[in-house]
Structures are given as structure tokens and as C-alpha cells.
Chains A and B, each alone.
Chain A
């Protein structure tokens, strides 16, 4: 076994890029909420972008590596230490056998992504190792004392020669994976919890179920992320939207990023573990590429919609 979970923190899950194409059977896509960060972490260690990694919420995760590994941490920004010494984020780092990795509270963003060279080795369901918190499918959340195997996923590039040993200041690391098979995605800074984030929206199927002013209210005000948000949905607080058609909507298919509006008028943005159908009207849909940001938004964070 490659890794021992000393402390899982508030919530640590195995996630990859999810399982698309099974919504007709009632299964959500699941997968990393901040896909670009998992992709980056994977490519930094020479994994295929879709290899399984860990998604950990806030700080508190502590892992002990039984075998030597190469890792990369992306996504949220905070102090991550290896045997007590801070490691750089967004680059490959060598880990010696017995080393302990600790995740501190993030200063920016909410979810760290950890990629381990070879990928986290857990059983797959329909081609994906992702945990789906709505249906409970996929691996269970990590628990103290649990063990994780390391797989043999490879991007076919050979090992990452740019990996550094232990902690370091970071110049030039990760260069070994650049080149042939993959271009590293740009590093997108995790959002500052004190500043508003902006997400683009397109019209949803039931935009005409709301009064004329509702769209304006949707895109002109700053919404606030509610603390009861999770991987299923980002719940928003603000001046409510007003539904004018009041008949019951028969349940209909819901897309990732749908802004579903219940009778309270306060929208929920559907994230990776969203229900595949829902019975409230969808006024708008958040662009897929902007959902990564919502996955890094904290409770209380201000959110603007551009549409």
C-alpha cells in the first residue's frame, strides 16, 4: 500500500474527471469540482489528465507515504508541508518513503487537488473512480487509518524528470512533463475569498417562467454563497428572483451548471454531483469553464453572473 491516511480532514474524496453519459440511468457526472486544477496536478506528475487524485476540502488532511512517490498539489492555495517543510504548489515534488504530507488551511480557494504519480488506485465504476456524494456510488470518503494504493497510470511520457526532491523554492520544477503529449494548462489562481468571482451564464430552458426584471436582477446583483453548499449544488443568497408561471413543473433533465430556482427565488447552481432531474425551473446555465471557480468559492464569497 502506497499511502496511509493519518487524518482525512473535513472531507477528502477520490475524484477524477467523472463519468459522463449515464444521466439516463440516473447517475450524475461527478468528478473533480475544479477540473482544471486536477488536470494540472496530474500532468505535472506525468499522469494522464483524467487519472484519479484526491480532492480535499479546506485544510486538515494528513497523509503518510509508505513508498516513494512524486506528487503535485494544485487548486486551493495555502501552506502544504512535507515533513514540516513547506512545498511549492503547482509543481512536481519527490516524496521519500515515510514522509508525512500536511495540508494547512487555504488562504485562497477551498479545495486542494493532490495528484500522485501513477494515480490513486481504486476500483472504477463505468470508467471512473470518482465519488458521487448524491448517489453514494464510487469510493467512500477517506477515513483515518485508511490506505490508498498507487496505480500505474502514465501519460506515456516517462517519469517526470523535473521533479524536485523534498521541499524547495520551486524554480523550474515540473518542466519534465512539458512537451510531447500534453501542454500544461495555465495556472489559474484560486479565488480570493474577499473578492467577488464572476461566472458567465447563458439562458436556461425556463427563463420565460420569470418576470422581466428577474434576469436583470440575476446578472446585476452580487450573490453570496450559502454555507450549505456542497458538491451537489452551490446555494446562493441575495434578492430573490420572481417566478411568474406558477404551475408545477414536471421533473425534467438538469444540466451541470443549471441555475435551478425553487419557490424561495434563491437559485442553486448544480455542480458535479447534481441530481439528473429536477422539478424547479432553470433560469440560466453557468458556462462549464466557469464552474471550476464555483468549486473554489467559499461560504460567504460574493458571486456575480455575467449574461
Chain B
């Protein structure tokens, strides 16, 4: 169908009878589109029409599932086609501040790899503005991205069998905080006592996709 306002930046892929997978060119577009769909960047439903169940951002895509007894696929398609991406972070996301005790087991190695001092890694990590891009791996684990590439490090060659809860790590373009003890291959540069996941709360996740995250030295 010919459209007045085509959206060349997004492609809607079929995903069974009650979901669409929206493919976007890169991660920044995913975050902006996700914020546009959910507006406040909290759980699905803030600006979503009745019948939308989940809006799930990932690295290049946003998955949208719906209840086909409450909303027609064509209505969902129209909503997804017409949604405006929200690039303005401040206006659309919550801000979460996390206190970190820097000095994790991989801080020295990370500094060495990046060719800077340990204090510079700490400064750069805590002075950068991080955006929560998407969840995965475990409930409450969120992949955080920032605007520069100066903290890019590879994963550890040998993953740890048990990364302690609250570990703050770096891997590739991402930073993240382990919400529970689990195996993991990220470079650990600090720890936090903040509860990333508290199942007894109405909003169990401290960080949700779309949020702005700042780390401060404890």
C-alpha cells in the first residue's frame, strides 16, 4: 500500500498471528523508537493502545506482541508505522543513579587494555551518560550504551563460573550490572549494593529499557 509517510528506517516483519518484529538500522534508532512507543520508557502500555502486551527492544529490533482478541493486526501495524522515534533522552526517560565501589578484579587489566590509568577508567565510566538499551540474560539485567567508544573492551577469554551479585562490568560496547550471581564473561570494574532486581516490588527492575543511567563513585 502506498503511504503518505513511508518509514524507510523500519521494516515490519511477520511474527505469527499476534506479534510484529520491527527491524531498525542500528541500536540508537531502536532506543529512540522504543521510547517513542512507550513514551516514558517504563513497562509497555504507557502510550500503547489497548491490547498491546509486550514491547521488547533488542540490538536491532523491537518486538511487539498483542492480544488479537482486543486489537486487530492492522491497528497494531498502523501504530507501529506511525510512531515517532523519541531521540530526546531527557524528555522521555527516567534517570537512575547507581553508586559503585570501583576496584573490581578486572579494573587493572581493563585499564591496561585501554591504555589509560585505573583512575581514568573510573572517571570515564562514572562521568559518562549511559542509556538502558535492552534487557536479556537474566531478569533485571540491562545492556547499557554510551555516546563514545573509549570504554570498549573484549569479554574475558575465560568466563567466570560465578560473578557476584552487584558486579559492574564492561563488554564490547556495553556496560551492565549483574542482578544476581551467575556465570559471566564481562570485565568487572566495580560493585554496587543497589538491588537491580527485587521480585517483591511492584516494579522489580531498578533499570528499565529507555532509562538514563549514571554511575557515581561510592
Could you list which residues of chain A lie within 8 angstroms of chain B, going by C-beta atoms? Answer: 20-27, 123, 125-126, 135, 137, 202-207, 250-255, 257-258, 275-277, 282, 284-288
B209 within 8 A of A: yes
8 examples of A-B residue contacts, CB within 8 angstroms: A23-B54, A25-B205, A25-B208, A125-B200, A206-B13, A251-B58, A253-B54, A258-B15
Are A24 and B208 touching (Cβ within 8 A)?
A: yes
A84 to chain B, nearest CB (A): 40
B167 within 8 A of A: no
Are B43 and A24 touching (Cβ within 8 A)?
A: yes
Residue from B14, B58, B202 in contact with A202 in the complex, judged by beta carbons closer than 8 Å: B14
Contacts A25-B205, A202-B14, A203-B14: A253 and B21 contacting too (C-beta < 8 A)? yes
- Residues of chain B with a CB closer than 8 A to A21's CB: 43-45, 53-54
- Residues of chain B with a CB closer than 8 A to A207's CB: 14
Interface string of B188-218 (1 = CB under 8 A from A): 0000000000011010110011000000000
- Residues of chain A with a CB closer than 8 A to B135's CB: 24-26, 276-277
Contacts A205-B15, A205-B21, A282-B15: A251 and B139 contacting too (C-beta < 8 A)? no
B136 within 8 A of A: yes
Instruction: Count CB-based A-B contacts (< 8 Å).
Output: 115
B16 within 8 A of A: yes
Residue from A22, A252, A285 in contact with B58 in the complex, judged by beta carbons closer than 8 Å: A252
B110 to chain A, nearest CB (A): 24
Contacts A126-B204, A252-B61, A253-B63: A24 and B55 contacting too (C-beta < 8 A)? yes
- Residues of chain B with a CB closer than 8 A to A125's CB: 199-200, 204
A298 CA / B98 CA spacing, docked (Å) = 47
Residue from A20, A251, A277, A287 in contact with B16 in the complex, judged by beta carbons closer than 8 Å: A287
Are A26 and B16 touching (Cβ within 8 A)?
A: no
B209 to chain A, nearest CB (A): 5
A291 CA / B200 CA spacing, docked (Å) = 30
Are B43 and A255 touching (Cβ within 8 A)?
A: no
- Residues of chain B with a CB closer than 8 A to A137's CB: 139, 199
Residue from B15, B17, B55, B58 in contact with A277 in the complex, judged by beta carbons closer than 8 Å: B58
Instruction: Classify the interface of chain A: helix, strand, loop or mixed.
Output: loop
Nearest neighbor of A208 in chain B, beta-carbon distance: B13
B141 within 8 A of A: yes
Please classify how large the interface on chain B is, using the bins under 10, 10 to 19, 20 to 34, 35 or more.
Answer: 35 or more
Are B137 and A26 touching (Cβ within 8 A)?
A: yes
Are B19 and A26 touching (Cβ within 8 A)?
A: no
Residue from B14, B21, B59, B65 in contact with A251 in the complex, judged by beta carbons closer than 8 Å: B59
B 1-21 contacts with A by CB, 8 A? 13-19, 21
Residue from B16, B58, B202, B204 in contact with A25 in the complex, judged by beta carbons closer than 8 Å: B204
- Residues of chain B with a CB closer than 8 A to A276's CB: 56, 135-136
- Residues of chain A with a CB closer than 8 A to B55's CB: 24
Are A252 and B21 touching (Cβ within 8 A)?
A: yes
A137 CA / B59 CA spacing, docked (Å) = 25
A282 CA / B45 CA spacing, docked (Å) = 26
Are B17 and A285 touching (Cβ within 8 A)?
A: yes
Interface string of B108-151 (1 = CB under 8 A from A): 00000000000000000000000000111111110000000000
A235 CA / B162 CA spacing, docked (Å) = 28
B 47-78 contacts with A by CB, 8 A? 53-63, 65
Residue of B14, B19, B61, B139 with most chain A CB atoms under a 10 A cut-off: B139
Q: Known pairs A25-B135, A203-B14, A250-B60. 11 more at Cβ < 8 A? A: A25-B204, A25-B208, A26-B139, A26-B141, A137-B199, A250-B59, A253-B61, A257-B16, A285-B19, A287-B17, A288-B17
